[in-house]
Amino acid sequence: MPLLQKYTLAATLLIFSVFVLPAQNNISITGTVVDATDGSPIPYATAVAISNSDQKVINGSTTDDDGEFSLNSTSTDISIEISFIGYTKKTIKDFTIRNGSVILGKIKLSQNSESLDEVSVTAEKSSMEFKLDKRVFNVGQDISSSGMGALDVLNNVPSVNVDIEGAISLRGNTGVQILINGKPSVLADEQSNALGTLTADMIESIEVITNPSAKYEAEGTSGIINIILKKEEKKGFNGSASINTGVPHNHSVGVSLNQRTENFNFFTQFGAGYRSLPRYSESINRNLVDSTMVESDGVSYRNENFYNITLGADYYINDLNTITLSGNFAYEIETPDGETHFDLYDSIGQLYSSYDRIETTEATNPKYQYDLQYKKQFKNDEDHTLLFSTLGRFFGKDQSSEFINEYSFGPEYTANQQTETDFYQADYTFKLDYTNPITDAITLEVGSQYQINDVGNDYAVYDQVGTAWVLDSNLTNNFEYNQKVLGVYGTGSYEGKKWGVKVGLRVENTDLNTLLTNTNESNTQNYTDFFPTLHTSYKISQRFSLQAGYSRRIFRPRLWDLNPFFNIQNNFNVRTGNPDLLPEYADSYELTGVFIFEKASLTSSVYHLYTTDVVERVSFFANNVNVTTPVNVGTNNKTGVELTGKYTPLDWLSINGDFNYGFFVRQGEFENQNFDFNGDQWSVKFTTKFKLPAGFDLEISPNYRSRYKTVQGEVSGFAFADAGIRKKLWKGKAVINLAVRDIFASRIRESIVDQPTYYVYDFGKRGRFVTLGFSYSFGKGEAMSYSGGRRR
């Protein structure tokens, strides 16, 4: 080859290698991902370029709303993987590079039924997760809770019991603090009944905190129950809808929607419904001094229409800063009615008066809240955060009632009456929390909270005199309640591979003022308390670990404990508040062992709860009228054991169980009456789940709660059972449920007060509830696993 030709060839190869080869290696890859069944585009599917030599990801992207994607690669020795949750992954190895581009065209993904079923099954099963200072009950689609409210879901949670009146107890003890998403909420107010407006499919998980750390406010002597609501954070548009109907009347519809983009997450939930909630009750008031007696029985209905909507948005300012604004509005229209029959007997047992008391009521209950939250993460660690939040909430009630007495025998004993109620409650909470994981094992937390509770209850009672309605000044009152609580806390924790420890201290100052305006009676309390906490855990082996905890707690009397108003629905059985009531304090100790086996798990806890200035409802009896009011009565020492387990002997059978036993020693005296006594209380609940052919699931949940002594009598035990059956449709996208709550109508509330001069019997039950529900989920489901942009 001539010399000139050699130089020419060398120069050509050099120019080609410098300009042409790099241009060829920097290739552009485009394509459109569609559903193989209907050809519809699949947004937010993942497309990645993987090196064939070492299987490392070179670059990745996600599809847009039209299913299109584009990515670049500096290598030609690659494979392209396309994936999305619920679809079979596709790997493309053969493609043609033309002018530095790879045009893949339409890429069809087939739905993976096994993957869909796996996701669906995970969502169905409720499970318990153990953490250093709490237990997390992840709520699945339990059949027996289908179409039910939050109280029914709580009743399925180990350690938690809910009676037919909606009173919540933890390990048999009242004084529980209920939170929604870690904060106080109008939805958790004990008098608004708003928890019933939350349906089971709106709840993500429930945290049971028997020994809360100092990070949590000290309210709740028995502990804290924190209800975490679902807030979808999946890329793209997702949602679900449900409709339920039931007997007696229990009808509701609900929709949950979510739209997630790179910088925003918009979410909303709204629902509406109607329920009657009938309640049968009977009572006996017997005067043992003169042998007179009053018997009553009747049925009442709540007859409630409810509507609620939640709107919210997360704004991801950048990788480290997020602002969340959310609001909730609920509105209830109540038209309760009921009829109670009364028989009055004289000292020789003869009937001398008989009548029916008929109630008609109209009430509207507006309630709303807003929550503004700012979260800052620091670059060194995603758990290094500063969180500021402010919460405002309001609950109102405008109610009027009329009670007409229709006599069938004997003289008229009581007048017709009317009541008017104008109630409001405004609460404001400001929180600042700072968390710093100093090392992988050591974490520091500090923060503060300021809470304001402003409540008023203007209550008037009118008696019919002839054709006129005359104000009854003895029963009428206007009660004002204002409480401010300032708390600061600090915790430090160490969590290694084998053991961990967390210590903390919280200081709270309480400033409480109440005023009964019609009598100018006031009550002022200002006190500062220290609340230390200690938690530790030790992992003995992969199958066995120990946890121990201590915390000091407080129960502050609430408005309805302090307000001395009279409920005149039943003039012979009246509940009223006590404006002089003091807070109760509790010291809680707990030791827990967690055992993990191949087909079973078991958690065993031994606990001790020492409570001072115990708040008890005490009966006062005069003229056959029983008045129940809360008072501070001595101390309570309770020691107990709790066993929680799960056993899956077969693929189609699983059993969950919870057993709780406590022995208590009461000591106290009130108005020269000694209340010293010992007693015990226990409960057991099981949930057995069967997987049946043709995609059916069956669930049966028997429960038993024992009798227990009270300061003046006892509360009866009872057994009840729930059951449900479910069928999945369309590869789990839709579910139809049939559930029966209280199959045998045996869930009751029966109490006896047996004293030397009087005897009071009270009985109530809700009865059997049957619900039929249908739910459907839509949207593409999961967020991307990899993004060419920033990850979350």
Structure tokens at 226: 């924190």
Last residue of a domain, one of 90, 111, 132: 111
**104 Cβ contact partners less than 8 Å away, ≥ 6 residues apart:** 29, 30, 31, 80, 92, 95
Domain edge (last residue) among 59, 90, 111: 111
230: DSSP letter: P
The dihedral sign for the CA sequence 227, 233, 234, 239: positive
The range of the structural domain enclosing residue 55 comes to: 3-111
Residue at token pair 């599917």: 45
**What does each C-alpha distance from 656 to 369, 479, 659, 697, 751 come to in angstroms?**
37, 47, 11, 15, 30
| Predicted local confidence at residue 413, as pLDDT | 76
Residues 95 and 240 in one domain: no
| Length of the chain (residues) | 792
Phi/psi-derived region of residue 632, left when phi > 0, alpha when psi is between -120 and 50, beta in every other case: beta
Q: What residue has token string 């229990």?
A: 250
Tell me if 260 is assigned to some domain.
yes
Tell me, yes or no, whether 202 lies in a domain.
Answer: no
Provide the token pair at 657: 């169980």
- How far does CA 771 lie from the centroid of its chain? 21
In a domain, residue 452? The reply is yes
What is the CATH classification number for the domain harbouring 376?
2.40.170.20
pTM: 0.72
Assess contact for 225 and 150: CB atoms under 8 A: no
Tell me how far apart the alpha carbons of residues 321 and 324 are, in angstroms, rounded to a whole number.
10
87 lies in a domain? yes
Please tell me whether residues 480 and 626 are part of one structural domain.
yes
Same domain for 96 and 244?
Answer: no
Residue 173 belongs to some domain of the structure: no
Q: What is the pLDDT of residue 188?
A: 55
Element (H, E) at 355: strand 351-378
Report residues of the chain scoring pLDDT below 70: 1-25, 37-38, 44, 65, 85-86, 111-133, 140-149, 151-152, 155-156, 158, 161, 163-167, 171-175, 183-202, 221, 230-236, 262, 566, 732, 779-792
Dig out the tokens for 223 from the structure: 């502990």
Across 126-157, b (16+ Cβ under 10 Å) vs e yields bebeeeebbbbbbbbbbbbbbbbbbbbbbbbb
- Whole-number Å distance between alpha carbons of 156 and 138: 11
DSSP conformational letter for 12: H
Query: pLDDT tens, 87-101?
Result: 778 889 888 888 788
Backbone angles phi, psi at 633, to 5 degrees: -130, 95
| DSSP 8-state secondary structure symbol assigned to residue 147 | T
Cα(131)–Cα(495) distance, integer angstroms: 11
Instruction: Name the burial class of residue 787, with classes exposed (0-12), middle (13-18) and buried (19+) by CB atoms within 10 angstroms of its CB.
Output: middle
Residue for token pair 């007060």: 753
Q: How many domains does the chain have?
A: 2
Could you write out the DSSP letters of every residue in 692-757?
PGGGEEEEEEEEEE--EE-SSEEE--EEEEEEEEEEEETTTTEEEEEEEESTTS--EEEEEEE-SS
CA distance 428 to 372: 12
Residue 129 has a pLDDT of 65
**Distance set, CA 68 to CA 29, 45, 55, 96, 101 (Å):** 11, 9, 24, 19, 15
Asked whether residue 168 is assigned to any structural domain, the reply reads no
Confidence at residue 185, expressed as pLDDT on a 0 to 100 scale: 59
In a domain, 674, yes or no: yes
| Distance (Å, whole) CA 505 – CA 489 | 6
- CATH number, domain of 73, equals 2.60.40.10
pLDDT recorded at residue 140: 62
Q: Is 788 a member of any domain?
A: no
Beta bridge partners, 631, equal 616
Q: What is the pLDDT of residue 192?
A: 40
Q: How many other CB atoms are there within 10 angstroms of residue 7's CB atom?
A: 10
Task: Give the N- to C-terminal CA distance of the chain in Å, as an integer.
Answer: 62
Determine if residue 86 is left, alpha or beta; phi over 0 gives left, psi from -120 to 50 gives alpha, anything else beta: left
Domain final residue pick, 56, 85, 111: 111
pLDDT digits (tens, 9 = 90+) for 39-52: 778 876 788 888 88
